[in-house]
Amino acid sequence: MAFIVQKYGGTSVGTTQRIQAVAQRIVATVKAGNSVVVVVSAMGKTTDGLVKLAHEISGNPSRREMDVLLSTGEQITIALLSMALQELGQPAVSMTGAQVGIVTETAHTRARILRITTERIERHLQSGYVVVVAGFQGVSDTEDWEITTLGRGGSDTSAVALAAALHADQCEIYTDVPGILTTDPRLVPEARLMEEITSDEMLELASLGAKVLHPRAVEIARNYGVTLVVRSSWTDEPGTKVVSLTPQNRSLEGLEIARSVDAVEFDTQQSRVGLLRIPDRPGIAASLFDQIAKEQVDVDLIIQSIHEGETNDITFTVNRRSIACAEAVATSILPNLLAGFTPHPDAIPEVVVNPQVAKVSIVGAGMIGRPGVAAQMFTILAQAGINIQMISTSEVKVSCVIESFTETTVDELCHRALHALQAVFEVDSSPTPFRQDEKIGVHGGSQPYPVVRGVALDMKQVRLAIRDVPHRPGMASQLFQLLADHGISVDMIIQSQRCHETNTFHYRDIACTVAETDGEMARSVLESAMTNLGYGAVMIDRAIAKVSIVGAGMVNHPGVAARMFAALSERQINIQMIATSEIKISCVVDKSKGVEALQAIHQTFHLAGNYPIHIPS
């Protein structure tokens, strides 16, 4: 007998007929000898409907009342599904989040789960009941017992958290697609189903816009080693398994907030190459990284930020062993990149190299949706007197490149940084792991994983550019702390390489992306601190899309970035920003080109399957 948590999403319970079909599936699972806890979403588009109602009354409804309102959607489904089960002769009982004891922080509309009381559910299970729990909602740990919600899409998180707390054997997420696909089938109907994916990869995909799983659900599965399966509620196909490589023995107290950072990683053997003031047009990144891949040089971080005018900078890091080769390629390709381009006399393109750089990263799924963590890292480095040269972020990693320009060696700087970070985050540090493809081959399947697993598109971000930020320790820290203090999560953070000099002061631009819904607030918060912090201007660009590729095998395969950039350049899509981590590459492009970019990249990596995916309406 197994103990299974099943979660059914909105479409799966969209009508009373669908609720009856779901009830039958649950009964079949029970008859097969299993104990079942069910988590459900609101029916169909109920939550969207409730949001719309609220906005008909108020342009800025209170977050507390939004929670009271939105939590009603799931309460309808639990009652109806329990009735449908009872009709089939299956004892069932519905429970709201508060009745279960899903205790959260008070942060309305985006609360994190602190702990889950399991006694009441266990008692019902022992009496032979199926327990039907309302997803997406909880109750605060304050004396007012506030109703809270976890954020849109949060029922997945309720289900995986329950599976962790109850030590279930498996958590099954039932949805309207056959499982996790190489990309969103609504944009690419030939997207292919994956049999398995690692939770590391899924975490990136989910946070980069693959809506099929709530990123926090993947985070919990990864942290607690929950066996997670995503499958269709319309068929009996096995779906996709999300595998966690290192199930850890963690306390269930502070479930979603216990630890924001799991590890500090470093690499003191890096070198940096920057191509400054090169033309900002399609094809530049593609030619550069194609040439570098031909020399078999493995590139680590790639960063391209934004600049005023018609030029841009691309900076990348390589292992120090390869620096001579990387520099030679960059220098020899520069004239080709400049073909037909007349540089401004004050802005002559050039290749700059620093052989002595180190990369320090904080890693941890607990950073998701916690705006203060990146800011905290920048503050710690600033307090240690370290000036950050480059920043590259992913949802689960923040990497800072540091360099030495004085007699202090980069090793010394790096160790100073590690000491400080370790002390504050209370974790060990270790060299950046060099992932091998074989390591991920836990799937036992006959086929090796493709290097690129999935492609995701996020059209719900805006970009903020902060111009002329004084280049001194502490600036990134102050800027991002400011946003964090207002609850704004920053996604990509890119500090440009280029420095302007005015009266011997150095200035740099910093760009970042934030959720569309936070854009206006982020802009006004940053603008209000402009004079105080001494930067020049804050600009917002809403017409952006972020397209990303994810794959744990990318590290050992030079040329993946070049192929992605080439797919964009063939369609004349200009890349505005680039940020990479070991297992993902993200490019910001014009919003109107987002879908085309996704389709081009999906095609270039041959990810399509043989049949279009059917999505029930």
Q: Where are the beta strands (DSSP E) in 189-251?
A: 196-198, 228-232, 240-243
Among the listed ranges 100-108, 150-158, 569-577, 594-602, the one in contact with ligand ASP (CB under 6 A) is: 150-158
Nearer to ligand ASP, 10 or 239 (CB): 10
In the list 44, 138, 153, 559, the residue contacting ligand ASP (rule: CB under 6 A) is 153
Q: Which of residues 37-56 bind ligand ASP (CB under 6 A)?
A: 41-42, 47
Among the listed ranges 147-155, 379-387, 444-452, 493-501, the one in contact with ligand ASP (CB under 6 A) is: 147-155
SS3 content of the chain, % helix, strand, coil (to 5): 35, 30, 35
Q: From the CB of 366, what's the least distance to ligand ASP, in Å?
A: 21
Q: Which of residues 116-145 bind ligand ASP (CB under 6 A)?
A: 135-136
In the list 180, 278, 398, 465, the residue contacting ligand ADP (rule: CB under 6 A) is 180
Beta bridge partners of 148: 138
Q: From the CB of 119, what's the least distance to ligand ADP, in Å?
A: 28
In the list 98, 139, 164, 212, the residue contacting ligand ADP (rule: CB under 6 A) is 212
Q: Is 575 in the site for ligand ADP (CB under 6 A)?
A: no
214, 156 contact by CB (below 8 A)? yes
Q: List, in sequence order, the alpha helices (H) in 256-315.
A: 284-294
Q: Cα separation of 213 and 207, whole Å?
A: 9
Q: From the CB of 136, what's the least distance to ligand ASP, in Å?
A: 4
Nearer to ligand ADP, 104 or 232 (CB): 232
> Any long-range contacts for 206-209 (C-beta under 8 Å, 24+ apart)?
207/368, 207/394, 207/395, 207/396, 208/395, 208/456, 208/458, 208/546, 208/548, 208/550, 208/584, 208/586, 209/184, 209/456, 209/457, 209/458, 209/459, 209/460, 209/546, 209/548
In the list 135, 153, 369, 454, the residue contacting Mg ion (rule: CB under 5 A) is 153
In the list 4, 6, 10, 323, the residue contacting ligand ADP (rule: CB under 6 A) is 10
Residue whose entry in the numeric block shows the structure tokens 């990303």: 548
What x/- string results for residues 6 through 25 when contact with ligand ASP is judged by CB under 6 A? ---xx---------------
Q: Which does 181 bind (CB under 5 to 8 A by kind): ligand ADP, Mg ion, ligand ASP, none?
A: ligand ADP
3-class secondary-structure state, position 507: strand
Q: Which of residues 4-63 bind Mg ion (CB under 5 A)?
A: 9
3-class secondary-structure state, position 31: helix
Beta bridge partners of 116: 102
Q: From the CB of 156, what's the least distance to Mg ion, in Å?
A: 6
228, 160 contact by CB (below 8 A)? yes
Q: Cα separation of 375 and 370, whole Å?
A: 10
Among the listed ranges 204-212, 317-325, 433-441, 480-488, the one in contact with ligand ADP (CB under 6 A) is: 204-212
Nearer to ligand ASP, 43 or 293 (CB): 43
Q: What is the amino acid identity at position 84? A: A
Q: Is 323 in the site for ligand ADP (CB under 6 A)?
A: no
Q: Is 211 in the site for ligand ADP (CB under 6 A)?
A: yes
The residues near 416 (Cβ < 8 Å, ≥ 6 apart) are 384, 385, 386
Q: Which of residues 453-482 bind ligand ADP (CB under 6 A)?
A: 454
Instruction: Give the β-pairing of 584-590 and 577-581.
Output: antiparallel
CA dist 291 to 20, 331, 332, 333, 394, Å?
58, 11, 10, 8, 26
Q: Cα separation of 403 and 416, whole Å?
A: 13
Nearer to ligand ASP, 100 or 455 (CB): 100
Kindly tell me the sign of the dihedral angle through the C-alpha atoms of 590, 591, 593, 597: positive
In the list 41, 198, 399, 580, the residue contacting ligand ADP (rule: CB under 6 A) is 41
Among the listed ranges 153-161, 243-251, 311-319, 352-360, the one in contact with ligand ASP (CB under 6 A) is: 153-161
Q: List, in sequence order, the alpha helices (H) in 338-460.
A: 372-383, 410-425, 437-440
Nearer to ligand ASP, 70 or 512 (CB): 70
Nearer to ligand ASP, 47 or 291 (CB): 47
Among the listed ranges 115-123, 169-177, 372-380, 527-535, the one in contact with ligand ADP (CB under 6 A) is: 169-177
Q: Is 63 in the site for ligand ASP (CB under 6 A)?
A: no
CA dist 430 to 263, 419, 552, 554, Å?
8, 12, 19, 21
Q: Is 175 in the site for ligand ADP (CB under 6 A)?
A: yes
Q: From the CB of 245, what's the least distance to ligand ADP, in Å?
A: 20
Q: Which residues bind ligand ADP (CB under 6 A)?
A: 9-12, 41, 153, 175-177, 180-181, 183-186, 210-212, 454, 615
Q: Which residues bind ligand ASP (CB under 6 A)?
A: 9-10, 41-42, 47, 73, 135-136, 152-155
